[in-house]
Structure 1
């Protein structure tokens, strides 16, 4: 016996819409998972990439001695009381006077490792050694740093997060990259940060490679003030329980 199914134009149109909607939804979820693939897994410690209150200005420093101090001075002059500096241990040992200046200004210090290694490309033991070496450098400088660590290049995997967690550190990423290290021009740096909103962790650099950061900062600070966004530190985000995390694969 043969069966024939007849669909009128209206039902066929509805079925087509349902199929297309399902496809688009599935694709959207795929893109979301792909975009944040570095952050996704079902268990294990997580990396902090965003908070819920305030905006955190964070600065990576790994080399040079000409750009960091002007940035610190600028922050102080603009009455910025909260900022977080991630320092490589080797740089800190070479520039204890600048480290002291950061401390005296009241800003938080986190670790950027010691030798600026690619943590997703080295063995576990070398990751641990690099973190411990950076920690020892801070101890020698008598710096009471926060238990925060950032992958030097921003590239990392679950091994780094787990090792950091075992050593008592929270891994900090970012939600907005100013891309100041590319020296794209002051206007572009400001534009890259212009969409900042409550909870964002913004990445800047205070190494000598970032030649335009200090020039862009006053405009960025005013921009954030005009948006009524208060400045905070990553550690305060954690203390307040307001930090968002993503799991790492």
Structure 2
């Protein structure tokens, strides 16, 4: 009987030890995560951040087809990362709006989800603009324009005619190496609305082949020469996984305006999401630096088309 009691007591002891080392079954054990939950719920700073977080949140906006401006990109929403914000504020121990940490929430519908249509602008609430520099002539101005962009830490989108790119590979390399986006401007600057579908396709594909041979990348943006397009032209580009790009602000630099006229024209029409059309001309070479300063002073960032049309805030 004594041995039996000893065996029972030993078994009970083993069970107790097992429970002590099993957090899931031990009512006296508080896991690290549970402890953190208790701390959070009793931390007034954490509670304050949590309570105020909705005031700083914005819902994402889907891409859509505008009745005037056609394809329009969406915009990410934002919400407060409560844990990360608390981590940054806990040293001071008080709520500080400037220390809030945000996460961007992507929209459900993006540009890629929309039907075939041209793109004129970025999101109308995005305080960014893009320079679209169409190149089929004006080669002598390219070095100066690149130097001005570099000095101002600005990246642009250069739409290159295929024939020009073929004859000026060193400039294409220079544009690409300096971090600018390279787009397609057809092969020999035709009125594409007058061409057959087969010829539209050839104009775009031949230029893509030339640019890829020089830069190693196939362009994803297509700018029809003179802005001349039809639905057939847009479809020809789309069939090659490209979006057709137009503009909302025109420098009309090809008419050789004075620098002041050109700058005033842009400043009077600039808006959030603007795409600003220009060419390698004397007006641009002389006026680009002050134009960049004006645009930045008006509160706009200047970025490539890739950045302008992204959902990123």
Q: TM-score, normalised by structure 2?
A: 0.61
Closer, same or farther: CA 121–39 of 1 in aligned 2, 3 Å: farther
Q: How many angstroms does 1:123 deviate by?
A: 1.1
Q: How many angstroms does 1:138 deviate by?
A: 1.2
Segments of structure 2 that go 5 or more residues without pairing to the other structure are 1-66, 72-113
- Describe the SS at the equivalent of 1:116: coil
- 1:87-236 alignment, distance < 5 Å: 87-195=160-268, 196-206=270-280, 210-236=281-307
Give the one of 131, 135, 146 matched to 1:61. Answer: 135
Q: Which is greater in Rg? A: 2
> For residues 58 and 75 of structure 1, what CA distance do their matches in structure 2 show?
13
Segments of structure 1 that go 5 or more residues without pairing to the other structure are 1-32, 243-249
> For residues 278 and 158 of structure 2, what CA distance do their matches in structure 1 show?
9
Q: How many angstroms does 1:241 deviate by?
A: 6.9
Q: How many angstroms does 1:71 deviate by?
A: 0.5
Which stretch shifts more, 230-239 or 157-166?
230-239
Q: How many angstroms does 1:65 deviate by?
A: 2.1
Task: Give per-residue Cα distances to partners, 1:195-225, cap 9 Å, x unaligned.
Answer: 312110000102xxx2211111111101111
**Per chain length, whose mean CA-contact separation is higher, i.e. which structure has more relative contact order (CA < 8 Å, sep 6+)?**
1
> For residues 151 and 264 of structure 2, what CA distance do their matches in structure 1 show?
23
Contact 2:211 2:219 in 1 (8 A): no
> For residues 150 and 241 of structure 1, what CA distance do their matches in structure 2 show?
23
Contact 1:146 1:235 in 2 (8 A): no
Give the one of 146, 151, 155 matched to 1:72. Answer: 146
- 1:44-59 alignment, distance < 5 Å: 44-52=115-123, 53=126, 54-59=128-133
Q: How many angstroms does 1:58 deviate by?
A: 1.2
> For residues 57 and 143 of structure 1, what CA distance do their matches in structure 2 show?
23
Q: How many angstroms does 1:136 deviate by?
A: 1.1
- Describe the SS at the equivalent of 1:67: helix
- Describe the SS at the equivalent of 1:203: strand
Contact 2:117 2:244 in 1 (8 A): yes
Task: Give per-residue Cα distances to partners, 1:99-124, cap 9 Å, x unaligned.
Answer: 11111211101000111111111111
Closer, same or farther: CA 65–160 of 1 in aligned 2, 3 Å: same
> For residues 164 and 87 of structure 1, what CA distance do their matches in structure 2 show?
15
Contact 1:108 1:145 in 2 (8 A): no
Q: How many angstroms does 1:39 deviate by?
A: 6.0
- What's the RMSD between the two structures over aligned residues? 2.0
Q: How many angstroms does 1:139 deviate by?
A: 2.2
- Describe the SS at the equivalent of 2:118: strand
Structure 1 segments, 4+ long, off by >3 Å, are none
Q: TM-score, normalised by structure 1?
A: 0.76
> For residues 263 and 243 of structure 2, what CA distance do their matches in structure 1 show?
28
Task: Give per-residue Cα distances to partners, 1:19-50, cap 9 Å, x unaligned.
Answer: xxxxxxxxxxxxxx8xx5x969xx95111101
Task: Give per-residue Cα distances to partners, 1:31-85, cap 9 Å, x unaligned.
Answer: xx8xx5x969xx95111101122101110001242011110111101221x2110
